[in-house]
A and B are shown apart, each in its own frame.
Chain A
């Protein structure tokens, strides 16, 4: 016990030279995405259970309304029209409940350990929201494949598919940050679950996912214009189906929403860390 203390060995305790902020944030995003992928691979049931609802939307609602032809969707069949809406919705559902994981990590003491690693809070939130996007993308790929199987002709152009992926990533960053903001405010899993359930359907209906904005009452049109989901759906329709649209403004809105989401959620992270 009374061994005289020795000097620190050169290769221990020297730390690692700090890197520039962008490289640091990038490496944290990779770290959290890898972990999310590993978790997903250890438990794939969620991928299946969460796919059931959107598949029902497509198969039951989509097929039925395609026959009825009640909704004017231009050159697209109704099933084609709504498929990008359902794809975006399935990603949004994953994102909206992502904050539950942050609260769980806080209660389990994991968040405290993450916060004392050399990771700035913005990088931690960015990492977590990209990780949510990994999970959402896995979900979206499943729904995309189901859509193709039930006869929704989609693009096979890899660049367009990549663009669609980017749109889903941006949308997920926004909605997962919204979820983490709510987590920082209510700080309870049950309340976040309740709020999540209360807002997902309104967000879904107040977007262009199921019907063209021009069909909505004016007040809903305003809501839809303020809803990032509308821009995600619109860009997916353009990229996947070649529907006319404005990709530049869609991506501009989604990028601004994602950045604002990350800033807001990192501001509130301190409340969870306390």
Chain B
């Protein structure tokens, strides 16, 4: 890792939605070959941070670099390096699994001679060969997530970006996702940035954690470093409670804010 350029480098990153400060002077890095977890309660700014890194939102204040490529000056270069799985399950149900993955092979300019093999390789990696020629509308939630991982991996990205990859999955499906992420890191040296609010996931999967709250960085370190910092015998749950503090003890408020946000979204979507 020494000498290698960081997979992600954020410096002084700020993002506002109107009056809402969603990301507040955030500094963090993801080393090459590292699995880093962005951890924080709902509304902490995890998704916004991810959307700034993957060029979906414009970076107006601060700097983001992916493998040394600046997101603002070369967004197209950054997109070629990233495989992205959004928070929402999002595949084209009218197409088969193979067709879904092939579309992304084309959109990432996988050469035509290699395309069919690369698609097969990605589907095999996620154990979807048997279901590959069924329309994706027949897939279970766990299979959809794996199909999305296959879509993200078919371009052989250097950085995998996963927004709450296992939310809503059953424990078995969750294990399946973890196993694939580990393999990507171990066998291909892939760097991974993921968000989660599952402590178990953070503990099991991540080399390093970045704790966010209200858009700002609260703590950073390996799971064991963070636990040690809070006290002997502390669990990651304790760490989370310690750093996200009083807010977590007022769940009804958090809930209300969420409901309002959902209503806003619903109105926006019509």
A1-36 near B? 1/0 per residue, CB < 8 Å: 111111111011111101100001001101100110
A47-67 near B? 1/0 per residue, CB < 8 Å: 000000000000000000000
Q: Which of A15, A27, A42, A119 contacts B158 (CB 8 A)?
A: A15
Count contacts on B: residues with CB < 8 A to the other chain.
56
A28 to chain B, nearest CB (A): 7
Query: B151 at the A/B interface (Cβ < 8 Å)?
Result: yes
Is the pair A6, B189 in contact by a Cβ cutoff of 8 Å? yes
**Which residues of chain B have C-beta atoms less than 8 A from A30's C-beta?**
106
- The complex places the Cα of A149 from the Cα of B231 at a distance, in Å, of 84
Query: A69 at the A/B interface (Cβ < 8 Å)?
Result: no
Given contacts A6-B186, A9-B188, A42-B94, contact A116 B151 (CB under 8 A): no
Is the pair B80, A16 in contact by a Cβ cutoff of 8 Å? yes
Query: A273 at the A/B interface (Cβ < 8 Å)?
Result: yes
Is the pair B90, A113 in contact by a Cβ cutoff of 8 Å? yes
**Which residues of chain A have C-beta atoms less than 8 A from B111's C-beta?**
16
Query: Within B66-102, which residues are at the interface with A (CB < 8 Å)?
Result: 76-77, 79-82, 84, 86-92, 94-96, 99
Beta-carbon nearest neighbor of B161 in chain A: A116
Query: B28 at the A/B interface (Cβ < 8 Å)?
Result: no
**Which residues of chain A have C-beta atoms less than 8 A from B43's C-beta?**
none
Is the pair B90, A7 in contact by a Cβ cutoff of 8 Å? no
**Which residues of chain A have C-beta atoms less than 8 A from B54's C-beta?**
116
Query: A242 at the A/B interface (Cβ < 8 Å)?
Result: no
Query: A198 at the A/B interface (Cβ < 8 Å)?
Result: no
Given contacts A6-B189, A8-B33, A9-B189, contact A117 B91 (CB under 8 A): no
Beta-carbon nearest neighbor of A32 in chain B: B103
Is the pair A6, B91 in contact by a Cβ cutoff of 8 Å? no
Query: A189 at the A/B interface (Cβ < 8 Å)?
Result: yes
9 A-B pairs (CB sep. < 8 Å)? A3-B185, A3-B186, A6-B189, A7-B33, A110-B91, A113-B104, A117-B79, A188-B269, A191-B270
